[in-house]
Amino acid sequence: MNLSIEPVSEAHFAGLRVALDTVAREKRFLAFTQAPPVEQAFDFYRSIIADDGCQMVALLDGQVTGWCDVLPSHGQARSHVGILGIGLIPSARHLGIGAKLMQATIAAAWAKGMTRIELTVRVDNTNAKALYERLGFEVEGLLRRAFRVDGEYFDSYSMALLRGAAGAPVPASEILVRAAGLDDAVAAAACVNAAFELYIERMGKAPAPMLADYPALIGADKVWVAVRSGQVAGVLVQYETEDGFYVDTVAVAPACQGTGVGRALLRFAESEALRRGFEAVYLRTNARMTENQILYPKIGYVEYDRRTEGGYERIFYRKSLVPAASS
């Protein structure tokens, strides 16, 4: 899979309109239910380029599979505000492409001096809402009957991201990882549920961490929490098994994802494994959590098994904590 994120250019116009039409005809995500006529669409893309606007396209093996734009709002008093739109064709979803598209486009918007980005998302589009929250967007209101498709009304959320409000890396000194107490059980469960909610539609059922008994796990000394500014920002479930030191769950609150909390939890798990005399840690992820399959190899985890357990298709990874002997 060869993915590139690029500023829109004339070479992308035809593929971009096809992608727009594909997503629009699903009648679930956009205000459009079909793409505008070819020349009208191309004129719009040309105007974005002429105005040095913020629009990125995702190319997967050379094909336009998605786009994201942040277009300026109207009026001098709102010149600091951008309106975000995004779309991905079905085959490009659940691969982490949407987050990369948004991050690149948002960075371009900040570079142009915008300090607030707004968007709307249908209430029934839970995956998109979870992604937006993970990138720091917050719900500011409910827009009733904001969309009408084939005579049916749909509510939507109004969401916004303020520059500097979220998503920036947090110094390690500001993240405290500590053993969870029973008084953390509610916050820990809420954090896990928020982190894994977006996978329900993809998997067809709740991920296993959402079904866990956190008071019982805490009582068995298996849960740690990452605390930032006095709030639970992440949850780590880890314990010893007959197969070694097992990292059961790493969950990060959506607003804190991408800020270093997850890495801090994994570093803590690896340090704890070494402290207990283990030379490796192992973990598993669901086969439908494709983002993890990209992340874990990058940070030293090696796949060693795939199997189905309790109806979940799982991929197992192991990381050695002992430097390989030199030859």
Distance between CA 159 and CA 176 in Å, rounded?
A: 29
Is it the case that residue 84 has pLDDT exceeding 80? yes
pLDDT tens for 174-223 read: 788 999 999 999 999 999 999 998 888 888 899 999 999 999 999 999 99
The residue to which tokens 């060869």 are assigned: 2
pLDDT of the residue at 3: 84
Domain ranges within the chain, ordered by starting residue: 3-162, 172-320
Q: Does 167 have pLDDT greater than 60? A: no
Token pair in block for residue 135: 């990138």
Within its chain, how far is the Cα of 90 from the centroid?
A: 17
Confidence class for position 270, pLDDT limits 50, 70, 90: very high
Task: Return the pLDDT at 100.
Answer: 85
**Residues belonging to the chain:** 327
**Going edge to edge, which strands form the sheet with 312-320?**
176-179, 223-228, 231-241, 244-252, 280-286, 312-320, 302-309
Q: For the domain made up of 3-162, give the CATH fold.
A: Aminopeptidase (3.40.630)
| Sign (positive or negative) of CA dihedral 51, 92, 160, 147 | positive
Mean pLDDT of 253-269: 87
Phi (first) and psi of residue 38, to 5 degrees: -55, -55
Name the fold adopted by 172-320. Answer: Aminopeptidase (3.40.630)
More confident position, 134 or 139 = 139
Q: Which residue, among 160, 174, 21, has the nearest Cα to 87 in the 3D structure? A: 21
| Cα-to-chain-centroid distance, residue 285 | 16
How many Cβ atoms sit within 10 Å of the Cβ of residue 93?
16
Q: Which of 54-58, 102-106, 213-217, 276-280 has the lowest mean pLDDT?
A: 102-106
pLDDT, position 255: 82
* Fold equal for 3-162 and 172-320: yes
Q: What is the pTM of this model?
A: 0.54
